Every structure is written in C-alpha cells, then in structure tokens.
Structure 1
Amino acid sequence: MTESLATIVAPVVRPGYRRILLKISGEALMGPQSYGLHPPTVARIAGEVKALHDLGVEICMVIGGGNIFRGLQGSAQGMERTTADYMGMLATVMNALALQSALEARKVYTRVISAIPMDQVCEPYIRRRAVRHLEKGRVCIFAAGTGNPYFTTDTAATLRASEMSCEALFKGTQVDGVYDSDPKKNPDARRYDRISYDDVLQKNLKVMDASAIALARDNALPIIVFSLDEPNGLAGVVQGRGRFTIVEPG
C-alpha cells in the first residue's frame, strides 16, 4: 500500500528562491475592464501569491497604479509632473490595499508598507521592520513607489528588492518572456530565454525602464519575466518550470 501511494503522489518541487519580489503592473488588476479594479482578477492573483507563499517563499510585492492613474499621462495632458507623479503613487496604495484584502481573505497575513506616511491605512517604510515581517511569514506590499516623483514603480521594485536582499525580481506581464518586438503585433518576434542587462539597454527592450535595469545590474539582481496570465504560473516559474526569460549579467 505504501509503495502504491508513493507512485501516485508526485514529489514536491522545492522553490529555487527563499525570498523574492513580485512586480506587477496596475493594468494587471483591470482584467477585461478598461479601468479600475476587477475583483475576480485581483482574487486570482491573490491565489497565485498564496500558492507560492504556501511553498515557504518569503514574498515582497510592488504594484503599479496605471489602472487608476498614470503620472506620465497626467503630465502629458498639462498637469504639473510632480503633482501627477504623487497622484500615481496614491493609486499604487489603493491597489496594494485591494490585494492585501484579497490575500487576507485567504488567510495570508499581509502588510502594506508605504513610502509616503499615511498611518491610518498602512505602515510607513522602515527597512528593518519590513525584514522582520518577511521573517514572520508575512507578505509585504510596498506602495507609493520610492516616495519621490520622476521614479517609476519599476525602479521602486528594483530598489526594494535590493534593500530586502531578495534573490530575484519576478516581473509578471501579459507575455511569457522578453521579445525583440511586441509578439502581439509581430508574430515573428524573437523570444529570449536569457539576456544580459546590457543587451536590454542597448536594444531598448521594454522590460523595465532604464534606471531600473541599471540598478538591477549594479546589484546583480536577476530579473525573471513571465506571464501572469498562465494558471499557477508564478509558483511554477519560481520552481523553474514553465516559460520565462532571465535577465542577468552577460
């Protein structure tokens, strides 16, 4: 009986990372909508995070705010850039609170930590406190970017990943890796399994903005780009399964 069970039950694949940062765009929370939050999509992403958390991985997160407000677009419409960027930071706090609610509904203890103090809704960013949350098994969602205008949430994600001593930054997108052109527009687009930071910058590939890539390069922080739309994709990629691209030193 013992032998038959052993042949039926698949072995557990241990994650290749102890602590990671997951970066997702605000648009990922829209689902089929053109604006705002789509609760079923937020719930699905929370389920992906829980599946990884259940494997014992310490998880940091940074979420964009483009589903609510994008600073660059506001600036392009005549709004003063600094004000527009601060509005975008507040949008990331709203998204972080939404995902926190979805995670805690699944019994995953979560802390929203904001670079802009707003004590009534979330914690201020204190590095040592955030590290302690991770050590206690809590998911930390870093909101409000870096707290400064002119910096994107991509740069904030790379900064927080470096500060938290994450072993890799996972960027969930709508495609399964890095391509030399938009695969949705060009069926002949070439996909990379691995690519260097310098090649990403030289070829102007739209992985993350240039300052984020440069910061990752300076800290030897691997960036893994994968599809967030793939069911159970996050846990699989962290375990080394599925399709993804690794951005790493050349």
Structure 2
Amino acid sequence: MKISNPVLTGFHADPSMIRVGDTYYIANSTFEWFPGVRLHESKDLVHWNILPSPLSRCSQLDMRGNPSSGGIWAPDLSYADGRFWLIYTDVKVVNGAFKDCTNYLVTAEDIHGPWSEPIRINGVGFDASLFHDDDGRKYLVQQTWDFREYHHQFDGITLTEFDVDTMKLKPETARTIWDGTSVKITEGPHLYKKDGWYYLFAAEGGTVYEHQESVARSRTLDECSFEVMPNGPFIGNFDTPDTYLQKQGHGALVDTPSGEWYYA
C-alpha cells in the first residue's frame, strides 16, 4: 500500500481512527468552528470521503461564546455493540488555572446518523476517550486537570469504568493509571489491547515544537500500573528541526484486515 501524506490536507487536528469491517473512519476536531467534529471514511487509507457531521444541532453542541482555541478538543470515535460511540469535550474557558470543559457522549447505529442526544459524562479534565475491553466492560480514559497551586496542571491519565445500563460513570472506580513522563502536559489518551497487553498512547509536551506521542503499557488496568516504552518517544520531531513535519502529538492506531498497523 502506497500512502501519500497528508491523507487529509488542511485543518484536521486530533485524529481518532478506527476500522469497522473493511471501512476506516477518522474523526477530527475543528475547535470553536462548526461542525466541531468532522468525519471521513475510506476503504484503503488513501482516498477519504467526508461524511455528515455527527453534531448537527444545538442540543448536541452549543458553542456560542466559546473563546478562540476553545470548543471541541480531541474527539474519540469507537465502535462496539453494533453502534458508533463518540466522546467529545466542549471547552468554554481556555486560559487561567481553571478549564471550564464538559465531556459528552453521543451514539449512532449508522455512521451517517441519526446521532443521539448527548449524555453529559463529566467535567473533569478533557481529551476523553472510551475504551471497550474484550470482557465487555467500558472505561473512560482522560487527561486529568489539577488547578491547585504548586501542583502541575496536567495530573496524569485517569481511568473510570462506564456503566452501559445507566450510561453513567462509576466514580468509585476512578484511578490514575499513568503519570506521564517528565515531559508532562500528558493528554489525548487512546487505549488499545493486543496480545494480553494494554497499550496507552498519549500526547505530551504541549502543542509546540516539544509535542510528542508517548506510549506506556501494562498487563492490567490497575492504578499506576503502566510503564513507559524504552527509548521513547514513539514519535516526535523536536530533535529533527529540518523535518517538514513538526509538532507531532495527538494520534491514533488502526489495524488492517491483513494485520498491518497504521498511525495517524
């Protein structure tokens, strides 16, 4: 397969990529500009067609008054139990010690819609994603924001079990599974499971030249059980200033039916 980058030209930040059968989907954030989340589909990872936005009405997303660089941050698209799941964060306050943000969930049986009315998940941190474990349990994975003085604002990656029967989180299950590396500003988490290992991909370093993607793994989802990959980061260009692609961070993995892996 020959891929000519970029596969999506222009403004397509924070990709979340999945495969359902023989079709690939990418969700991207558009921040304070509508539609908030943009979707594309492809059969070959090379040619991509735009799809209707999953957030098409004000009851799902009302960004009136959102500041510059606010709005939707790092949406997460997944597929399980015969339907698509979309987690998205609406950020109302960008600067200062506090981040006024709310994480929502919408679902649809068809990627073209109709998409459900939103369920408010929580207002703790941002860049949330939904992990569907192979035992049927689901977990919200998210960056945790700490506004306390003398604490780093990026307080690791938190995992909380999500109850499908009530469509609510189980707050008593919340725990920090990874503190991140010394680079800090750990955000945009995506969790995968392969060959008995849980792999956590997360952006670090902030949306500047130090931006990078780090990977940690664990045999369990226990508190602070994830260990960072040796010789990391997974991807980053801080030490290669002449490379045309810079500030790489948020990303996602997808596998092909033949067992190949690609990263957006």
The answer to whether TM tops 0.5 is no
Give 1 or 2: higher helix fraction: 1
Give 1 or 2: higher strand fraction: 2
Q: Report the TM-score, using the length of structure 2 for normalisation.
A: 0.31
Higher radius of gyration, 1 or 2: 1
